[in-house]
Amino acid sequence: MASPLKCDLCDNQATVHLTQIVNHKVHKVDLCEACAQAKGVTDPSGFSLADLLLKASLNPEPPAASGLRCARCGFVPEDFKKTGRFGCPHCYDTLTGLVDPMLENMHKGTQHSGKVPERAIARKSLQDRLSTLETNLQTAIEAERYEDAAKFRDEILQVREAAGLPTPSA
Amino acid sequence: MSSDFKKIISAPAELTDNRESKCPVVLMTRVRLARNLADHRFPGRADAAERQDVLRQCQESLSETPGLKRSTSARIEDLSPAERLLLVERHLISRELSGTGKGSGVVINRDQSISVMVNEEDHLRIQVLRTGFQLRKAWTTIDALDSALEQSLNYAFSAKLGYLTACPTNLGTGLRASAMMHLPALVIAGQMEKVVRAVNQLGMVVRGQFGEGSDASGSIFQISNQTTLGETETVIIKRLQNVLKSIVEHELNARDRLLENDPAKLPDKIGRAFGVLNHAHLISSAEAMNLLSLVRLGVDLGYFPEEQRVGIDRLFIESQPGHIQHRAGQTEIESDERDRLRAEHLRSEFAKFSTPVYEPSRKRLN
């Protein structure tokens, strides 16, 4: 037998189960007694599941939302509530607590299976590798580990050469 | 008006002048990809300097991309409201882009089958547009263009969420494929609501001709995929293609039924439309859409020669307010005067049309 359903809003056992069709889509919500009370679900006449679903998916409950902030662009979940748009590509990494619940009902799946920008990815990993090596080189020089520094310098030259990038003649 | 822009506007275009792939029911197909540059804020959040920087990078890459070598590039702030309106009416820029501030741009190729908007909702909105029912071809073209652009631009991409977009509804493939469908019989037979419901259930969206919030004058509807993440581009396009095919089938059936059950109804509507287009002196753009829609149906039914289809499709665009103003060489004309100019243009064009022949047995074109 299936394990008892958990409440969509907290982890208690769900005892209130609702199904509603909004915009030709079937939405199901399972809630525990307390959350159902809090959301006013016990009065079915004055309650729209769509509102609840929308709010639940766009505004995660405070524990997830509070303190969320994109380190790159300073975007906070309240901004999304206003515009429906994110601030920068990194928001998707830094605000997963906001993104993940939102995606559940939005698309056919939550894993990309289409085209991949091969060259951009290769270029990015090359840049990352080079910048790591440059950092290592600087650290080695500063620490006067000249043997290591020479190794990093050679490696940088090799990587640049293999990628067809101009190599500064030392 | 800049000379570059003039050239674009007067050049023969895919939508208005390509005779070859014109067909009944499907006016045009369109595919767009949403792309963003890694390490830049999305246009809605970027400041002026960052928007300029993104615009410069994108314009540079676009100008070096095969297929866009002889294209025209413009900054939206340099275009007058009248010029922007022309581009919106030709489906080359969105209303949203037309209203944006500094640091937005558009690149349009020679036959206006490709347009790339910069700093709309996303850094790049690449669009390929084809007359008739050519989804696959449009996809092949845009796929190649996108791959070429990616040689010089660092796209924001994640292995899990695909191409990262300002709005989460475009994540994954960033692909929106759509067709402009001419469905007069389904509208006349009162079946559109049923079709919209069925299409929604299949994960597709139905909108008016000019996208979100626009009306469906002329019985023209835009149908597109809704979801972008979790499936490959090919799967998305194939499903849309199947849905569109079945809508075409429904429309043709509805026409058959109308002709069977009420044989005079369609010829009457089409003949009246032809009469008004030939003789009216004031026509609003909504009325023009509806009348042209009926005459196009007349071509499908064989009342007018097939060669006239391209002229009707051009008039759909030339009857829009921006094009009426452009034809008159003015930037802002009162709507009454526009109605007069529109009727004048339609009269002169329809004078060249042959009069309808109402064959009792029509050809079925699909």
Q: Which tokens go with B178?
A: 């759509």
pLDDT value for A98? 87
- Joined tokens for residue A116: 């991949």
* Rounded CA separation A103/A97 (Å): 11
Chain B residues with beta carbon closer than 8 angstroms to that of A108: 203, 227, 229-231
Q: Which residue of B has its CA nearest to A103?
A: B168
**Residue of A54 and B19 predicted with greater confidence:** B19
Q: Is the Cα torsion angle B33, B39, B42, B47 positive or negative in sign?
A: negative
The candidate with the shortest Cα–Cα distance to B286, out of B237, B348, B359, B339, is: B339
Give the residue on B whose Cα is nearest the Cα of A58.
B168
pLDDT value of residue B366: 44
Interface test mutation site (partner A, options B150, B153, B238, max chain A beta carbons within 10 A): B150
Residue A66's pLDDT is: 56
Nearest-by-Cβ selection for B42 from A88, A108, A120: A88
A114-B157-B109-B242 Cα dihedral, nearest 10 degrees: 20
- Work out the minimum CA distance from A36 to partner chain B, whole angstroms: 29
Residue A54 has pLDDT above 70, yes or no: no
User: With bands split at pLDDT 50, 70 and 90, how would you rate the model's confidence at A39?
Assistant: low
Q: Which residues of chain B have pLDDT under 50?
A: 361, 365-366
Residue A21: list chain B partners with CB under 8 A: none
Does residue A36 register a pLDDT over 90? Answer: no
Q: How far is CA A99 from CA A76, B143, B228, in A?
A: 12, 28, 15
**In the block, which residue shows the tokens 């452009």?**
B326
Interface of B with A in 226-245 (CB under 8 A): 227-233
pTM score, whole prediction: 0.79
- Rounded Cα distance between B59 and B162, Å, is 24
Compare CB distances from B168 to A88, A102, A124 and report the shortest one's residue. Answer: A102
Three-point CA angle B293, B297, B303, nearest 5°: 130
What residues of chain A have any CB closer than 8 angstroms to a CB in chain B? 23-24, 73, 75, 83-89, 92-93, 99, 102-103, 106-121, 123-124
Chain B environment of A116 (Cβ under 8 Å) = 157, 159
Which residues, in sequence order, are CB contacts of A135 under 8 Å at separation 6+? none
User: Does A61 or A114 have the greater pLDDT score?
Assistant: A114
Which residues in chain A have their CB less than 8 angstroms from residue B157's CB?
Answer: 116-117, 120-121
Q: Is B261 exposed, middle or buried (0-12, 13-18, 19+ CB in 10 A)?
A: exposed
pLDDT value of position A125: 82
Query: What residues are paired with B158 via a beta bridge?
Result: B162
Question: A46 pLDDT exceeds 90?
Answer: no
Tokens 């010089």 correspond to B152
* ipTM of the complex, rounded to two decimals: 0.85
Residues in chain B: 366
Banded pLDDT at A163 (limits 50, 70, 90): confident
Could you say which DSSP state residue A163 is in?
T
In angstroms, rounded to a whole number, what is the distance separating the alpha carbons of residues A133 and A44? 63
Q: Which of A86, A112, A117 sits opposite B42 (nearest CB)?
A: A86
DSSP secondary structure string, B34-55? EE-BTTS--TTT--HHHHHHHH
Percent of chain B exceeding pLDDT 70 equals: 95
Average confidence (pLDDT) over A2-25: 67
All structural domains of chain B with their residue ranges: 3-255, 265-350
Whether A124 shows a pLDDT value over 80: the answer reads no
Tell me the one-letter amino acid at B214. Answer: S
Q: Cβ contacts (< 8 Å) between A85 and chain B: which residues?
A: 42, 44-45, 121, 166-167
A-chain residues within 8 Å CB-CB of B229? 103, 106-112
Is residue A91 scored above 80 in pLDDT? yes
pLDDT in tens, B351-363: 999 899 987 545 5
CB-based burial, B287-315: b 16+ in 10 Å, e otherwise? bbbbbbbbbbbbbbbbbbeeebbbbbbbb
pLDDT of residue B145: 96
What CATH number labels B3-255? Answer: 3.30.590.10
Say if B122 is an interface residue toward chain A (CB within 8 Å).
no
Contact A119 B150 (CB under 8 A): yes
